[in-house]
Amino acid sequence: MMDKLQAISDRLEAVVTQMEDPATYADPDLLRRLTREQKELEPVVLAYRAYRKAEADRDAAQELLGDPEMKEMAQEELQEAKAKGITDGNNLGAFCTRAQAAVMTLRATKK
C-alpha cells in the first residue's frame, strides 16, 4: 500500500514538473488534463506526507524515551502522534479512509 501511495506522490511531482514547462501552456487540453490530475492527486499526497511525517515524529520520540533528559518531551510527542492516529504500523487503513474522503470531497465540490 505504501508503495502505491509513494507512486501517487511521484506522479504528482511529475505532473507539477510538466505543468512548469512552458510548452505545456501551448496545449490547452494537456494543461486542463494535468490541472485536473493535480487536483485529484494533491489531497491524497498531502495526507500521505502528513502520515509519513507523523510516523517519523513518533519513531523519533520512541528513540528519545531511552534518554532520561528527553523522556518528558518524548512522551508529549508520542501523545501528539497518538492524537493524530499514528500509534503503530497497523493503522494505515484509517489513514487511507481519510485520504479517500478527501478525494471524494474534492470530487463533490467539482460538480
Grid coordinates belonging to 91: 493503522
Percent residues over pLDDT 70 in the chain: 75
* CA diameter of the chain: 61
Q: Please report which confidence band the pLDDT of residue 67 belongs to, taking 50, 70 and 90 as the band edges.
A: confident
Grid coordinates belonging to 81: 502522534
What pLDDT, on a 0 to 100 scale, did the predictor assign at position 8?
94
Has residue 79 got a pLDDT over 90?
Answer: no
Q: Which one is the CATH code of 2-110: 1.20.58, 3.40.1000, 1.10.3720, 2.40.128?
A: 1.20.58
What pLDDT, on a 0 to 100 scale, did the predictor assign at position 56?
86
The pTM of the full predicted model, rounded to 2 decimals, is: 0.67
Q: Please report which confidence band the pLDDT of residue 18 belongs to, taking 50, 70 and 90 as the band edges.
A: very high
Q: pLDDT digits over 20-44, tens only?
A: 999 999 999 999 999 999 999 998 8
- Residue 43: C-alpha distances to residues 12, 47, 98 (Å): 11, 6, 10
